Chain A
Amino acid sequence: MRGIQTIIKKELADHFASYRFTIIFALIAMISLITAYMVGWKIKTEMEGMASQSAFLLLFTLPGAMGLFSLVQFVAFFGPLVGLVLGFDTINRERNEGTLSKLLSQPIYRDVVINGKFLAGVALITVMMVSIVLVITALGLIVMGIIPGIEEIWRIIVYLIISIIYISFWLGVAILFSILFRSTATSALAALAIWIFFSIIFPYSVSVMANNIFETAENDPEAIVRRAKVVKVIILLSPQELYTEATATIIDPTRKSSRSIINMSAGPMESLSMARFSGPLPLLQSILIVVPYIISLVALSVICFAISYAVFMRQEIRSL
């Protein structure tokens, strides 16, 4: 891969110098810090004297004050935006400025350009996520005064890896659009549209449709279970759902199934009731539960990248 290091280096330098990256990083760091602080206090006050193994990880799963996002939900919802912002003009900006043909007229293979740009983005996402999670962990430590155990640290690491894959998937989507569309505005809009579709429209419409289809047997418990199962399968087409499912089980050892109906319907108090802390799953078991989700997420990313690759390799470089 001749030249790939050079491309990665240049790309990283560009990102770090850009306002775009600074703004999105500052925004995300700020929101996660505020949430972590609020949640930390909440746990500290509500859990006085309740020494529990997995209390530390509640930092990631409990919503902040006023029913705000939990940190995990926050990454699930806004993480894609990071990937999209980093990638939406990767190729078309260079094409419009004529620098793409300068790059390609150097003795490097064409795939080096796209691989280098993707890897640089992944590296950036990794730096971003690791630093934010580290700061959150430190803040939690200070506010709550609970020290995470070895297993909890491993869970955070697995959570980080899944998050990086998830955001990289969105980076891949953004790069694909930057290849498909000539105009950077169009590719940004298209990427945003996909994000909104999967974040809001898709889960909502699936549950509305399921409600209509299973309407007749509303009081039959078996039908309710059946309905929940159908919704669960369909909704897994969405990367957001895959991610939420995967991380929820990893970061919350007391969750035993990937999506229990009781968990869905339970009020906020359920999450703090004592019963929840009995018999947490060992890490390996949690990982086993989420492996299918992780594989699906990786597969989606690979498919997306493969399409980008195929399109980019065939695209004609015409006089600009």
Chain B
Amino acid sequence: MSTETVIETRELTKIYNGQAAVENLSFSVNAGEIFGFLGPNGAGKTTTLLMLLGLTEPSSGSARVLGMDPARNPIKVKSMIGYLQENMGFYGDLNARQMLRFISELNDITAEIAEERIASALQSVGLAEEQDKKIAAYSRGMRQRLGIAELLIKDSKVAFLDEPTLGLDPDGTNRMIELIQSLCRDKKMTILLSSHMLHQVQKICHRIGIMIKGRMVAQGEIDQLAEEKFGVGKEQYTLEEIYMKYFQEA
């Protein structure tokens, strides 16, 4: 794995109505890795993602994504990042193909290339048979997979996945995890994954960061964190125990 830094923040702070949602956040994600972004609800994970996308301006501090400042150059940054938001946000009255076509038009992808990519993306996420169904009729798992198809169509260098396994059944979760791993392995995508499913995170993430109350309380490889907290390797401790330990201390 190369050590090129894809995402880097310095003292990133966001204040909403006098309250810090994100406070002095500094972390970095290397090219090609899956970075697990953990933390309780309301810890500021989504706000951080929005700042990295240039959708929200930081109150202070700076961020760099692929060498660019998202606050200054949001269009360039957004064209290279695929963002899978928590509630998916697809138009229910479109079918999968129409939705993906809409996305590719907004991304200035020519029609022929788009059609090709749409067909192969739907195939690889297993939605080819349901492509003419309206998204309103999709299950949660299908919507999440459609989100992955969107990343494939945009051919994103970086993907932000916000709770991609939330509310999925065990089979759906496994499929999703496999898809995420294949994005990293086959497409060389750098993935910032926010999730509560610690067991899965432990399985697929190269490094993790734990965010509590707007602050990053720990970041690094899981063994490293386990050693820091317990003085032993990860074989003896699950990520859950490490996480709870940080959570209680914060």
Contact = CB atoms under 8 A, between A and B. Distances in A.
Interface in A114-137: none
B56 A316 contact: yes
Contacts of B75: 2, 107-109
Interface stretch (B104-112, B220-228, B241-249): B104-112
B105 to A, nearest CB: 4
Interface residues of B, number: 28
Contact of A99 (B53, B78, B89): B89
B103 A97 contact: no
A99 B76 contact: no
Nearest to A107: B79
Contacts, number: 72
Interface stretch (B3-11, B80-88, B116-124): B80-88
Contacts of B76: 107
Contacts of A318: 16, 47, 50, 56
B106 A106 contact: yes
Given A10-B102, A98-B89, A317-B50, A106 B107 contact: yes
A316 B106 contact: no
B221 to A, nearest CB: 28
Contacts of A10: 102
B55 interface: yes
Nearest to A112: B106
A103 B53 CA distance: 12
B102 A319 contact: no
Interface of A: 2-3, 5-7, 10, 14, 17, 97-109, 316-320
19 contacts: A5-B105, A98-B85, A98-B89, A100-B89, A102-B88, A102-B89, A103-B89, A103-B106, A105-B53, A105-B78, A106-B78, A106-B106, A107-B75, A107-B78, A107-B79, A108-B78, A316-B56, A317-B50, A319-B47
